[in-house]
Amino acid sequence: HPLDPPTFQARLNQWYGRGKTWALRWAYRAFGGVHPGIDFHAPTGRPVFHTVNKGRVIWVGRDGGYGLTVKVRCEWDNAHKNDIGVWYCHLSRVSSAVQVGKLVTEGQVIGYSGGAKGDPNAGYSTGPHLHFAYWDSSLKGVGTQHFVDPNTYFKEGGVSLV
């Protein structure tokens, strides 16, 4: 399913894939040295939009190194009701309309970018950004969540992230 970027006018600063340095591979060791998403550099407080048609919120809260995170299981058709989802991580805050069990729709504000050093919601972060992860349990991906490269889905939607 094609994706639109989750935040406007944000520079992509970390691709999905194998860490380029030993330090990055060590940081991503739980995922075989692979960065399991893409990072958009965005100032703290920039709106983050849900990107995938509609979905059900399955997690809102702090999640270790991901900091304040919203996890959404995609529900655009019955064939993909349980196997595809997206994570929005290192948020400074979450929209009050986003709650576990609620349906979210494409373009809806999920929360606001964060990740600044010293922010208690940042998790493991070196600066303000949005970490966006896409998982598909029907495909071989990294980690137990089967994270896959979201860039493929952005390209299907005619969106270039370069």
pLDDT of residue 151 exceeding 90, the answer is no
Residue 51 DSSP class:
-
pLDDT of residue 130 exceeding 80, the answer is yes
Q: Tokens 């939009």 identify what position?
A: 49
Regarding pTM above 0.85, the answer is: no
Tokens coding 37: 């998403």
pLDDT digits 0-9 by tens, 42-87: 888 989 988 777 889 999 999 888 889 999 988 766 665 567 788 8
Helix (H) or strand (E) holding 53: none
Whole-angstrom Cα distance, residue 13 to residue 159?
16
pLDDT for position 18? 66
pLDDT digits 0-9 by tens, 99-108: 999 999 888 9
